[in-house]
Structures are given as C-alpha cells and as structure tokens.
Structure 1
Amino acid sequence: MNEKINVLGVNIDSFTAKEAMKETIAFLESELVSVIDVVSVDALMQMNDLPELKEKMNEFDMILPGEKLILEAAEEPELPEEINMKLYLKMFMRYLHKNHKRLYLLVESEEEGQEAFRYLQKAYSGVQLVGLAKVSAEGRADDMLVNAINGSEVDCVLSALSVPLQEDFIAKNRNLLDARVWIGVGKKIFSPRKPGFGQGKIAKYLLNHIFRREMEKNKLKMKS
C-alpha cells in the first residue's frame, strides 16, 4: 500500500519498484498525460526555496525517491530493493521495448544527447527513440518543443534535465502534451563520467549531512 511522505514540502510516493511499474503501465494505457518525477537529495535541496514549484510538483501523478536517504531521513526506512530506481527504470525500458512504445528524449546539450543515445543503444537497443531535443533554461521555446513532441506521436517523454528546469517545464506544459507518460529522471542518469578521487564521496557526504539537518529543522517547525 502506497503512502505519501512529505519531504521538505514535496509529497514522495513510497512505492516499491514493482508497484511503481504497475502504476506506470496503467498511466501508459490511459488517455491523459501522466507525470512521473524521480527526485534526488540534490534536487530536493535545490527546490527547497521554490515553494510555488513544489506546490505544482505535488500535483504530479507520481514522485519517486531516487535515493534511499530520502526515505531514511523522513524516518520511513525501506529495504534497498524496494526503492531501487535502477530496477524500476530497467523494467520501464523493457516494457517500452516489448510493447513497441515510442520514446522522445529531452536533454540539455548535444554531448548529453550523444551520451544518452549511446546508452540507450547499448542497454536497450530495441527501444523506439523517435525524437531528441535540447532544452535550455535560457531562450526556452516551449511551444516549438511541444509541437515537435506531439508531431512525433510518442507514448513517453523521457526528461534528462537538471532541476528545476525539468519540473518547471512539465508543470507549465503538461496539459499541452499528447504523450501518455512524461518521466523526469534527472540530468546525471546517462552520464558515464565519474568524479575524481575523493571528490564525489566528500561532496555527497556533505550534501547528505545538510539534507538531514534540513529535515530535522523541518520536523521542529511542524511540531512548534
């Protein structure tokens, strides 16, 4: 049974990967566009000062925790396999392939587009990638992009954009899209690059520490 967990003002779904996939299949079979967003600790921290955007996010159909720490800090511990987003995305891609669903990809640069294309070809060679477009925070042309997506007659839009560009774009344009599902997976999902020695672990440790402090402050505010 799914429960909504409020994490820094964002209502997170505590689905297992299989439960999330079951919901996604139902979305793909519906007529209206459904919005799924996979959020990270970093994303939640960046949106902490954007209350209006968080309100719009809470209207999304499903918000999934991309990291175990999100539920741990909310004092809602889950088994690692129950929040395995890699497993969820793997099942999702396999479903698209098996059922001949059409996919449109959003990235922020040509380099990211090439990386994403190589990744999809290697890991999910049978997925029908029918379109790819760059989205920039500066000089956005939402109307042209929406028309391009709708003209491609896609089933799913996969968004690999940074926060808050990703959430802002779909919040403003969801009612204009003809796709069945829009899923935001974040900018780092296709990047093969690894941080330098120590850099990644130290940065992640500090971010996680700050995140836990923000969660504690939020709990104290709610009690007072």
Structure 2
Amino acid sequence: MESLRSMIGKRVELELSGCKTLLHGEFIDMGSDVLVLYSKSKYIYTPIHHLQHLRLYEELDNPPMDSSPDSKLDLANISYRKILMNSRGVFTEIYLGGSQSLHGYVTSIMNDYFVYHSPMHQTVYIPVNHVKYLIPYPPNTTPYSLDQKHFPVQPSVVALSRTMDQLLKKLEGQLVVFDLGEHPNKKGLLKSVDENIVQLVLAGGNDNYLHMDHIKSIQLP
C-alpha cells in the first residue's frame, strides 16, 4: 500500500461505503487496516475495508486547517483493533451508516463485536466490521455535557458471548432492535438464529428473515 502512503500529509477527500457524507481532512497516518484523518481538531479513524475512494481535496474548496495534529500522539503500529482497545472508557463518536451517530463509550471488546454504552441508546452491541469511523472526543469531555455523576457507564444487561452469532443465539425469545430501529422490519421478537439466518417476528406477527452479516447493531428495548 505504498502508493496510498504517498498521500500521507496531504489534504484529502474520503468516501466510505454506507457513509452519506464525504469526509475531508489531513491524511496523517495509516496502519494495515485503518486510516487516520485529522479534521476540525478531531482524529477520525476509519477501517480501510470501507474505503470507496481517497483523493486530493482541491485547495480552492478547502479552508485552512484550524489547528495542527498533536505531535505527541503515538501512531506507531496502529491497527483498528488497537484503536478500539484504546478507546475503552473514552467518550467517542461512532458512525455505523444511516442517519445518526452514536455518542458514548466502548465498554467491552469481544472476538467480532464490542459493547457500547450511550446515554441516548443505552447498551448497544456492535459488530466490529460495521463501524464506518470512530472519533475520540477531547479528554474530560462527556456526552451532552452531562456531569459524570449523572452518567455512570452501565454494565451489559446480557452475559457476554465470545462471538456475535453466540450472542444472537443467547437472545432467542427476546425482543430486539437492530440497526438503531431505523427500519421497521428490523425490530421484533428474535425467534431463531440458524446458520447466520436470523428469523424475526414483527409486530403484526409476520416473519422477517435477514442475514447476520447485515446487522449493524443490536439493542434490547
């Protein structure tokens, strides 16, 4: 990926699969599976498998940067997994696609998913492959400017499994909400999970079937 590395230090435009808006910023580093942009005093980490295109951002449309990246930031040997590990307990924005971002904290990381606690969405289980980008907030920042005493990070309400398919199997017979409830056919009673096919009973009693790989998040109502 040396040709891509040649773009480091330049201002770029980034399009990600499933992302409604283009990202703009200074391309400051990359690892084997993650890209790092710096924009509006924030670091944006995006898994490289979502990359649709990265190209120079025309100077004419590109206002000057309002600050420079922190030279003390250790970006050596970065990886997506390492970034997730380092984000535990840090107020972070996570975007999964669709119309909204999540704002909260990574609390646990399992084999192929992690647990995220948000004051708006409570406990959310997120497959690692569906994160479009992750943005850590500055130190001592809290979601919605809540006082820390009003924002305890809650433990998961479900005993965690090592993998997402095991977790879904454990949730059989419970009401679930997939993908933050943005689609009416992705919330209902989780009836069964069989070879990655999830059977969901909708409010009217009809069955809906979906492949586990296309579930971006799981919540319990």
Pick the structure with more helix per residue.
1
Larger RCO, structures 1/2 (Cα 8 Å, 6+ apart): 1
Normalization by structure 1: what TM-score?
0.26
Normalization by structure 2: what TM-score?
0.26
Pick the structure with more strand per residue.
2
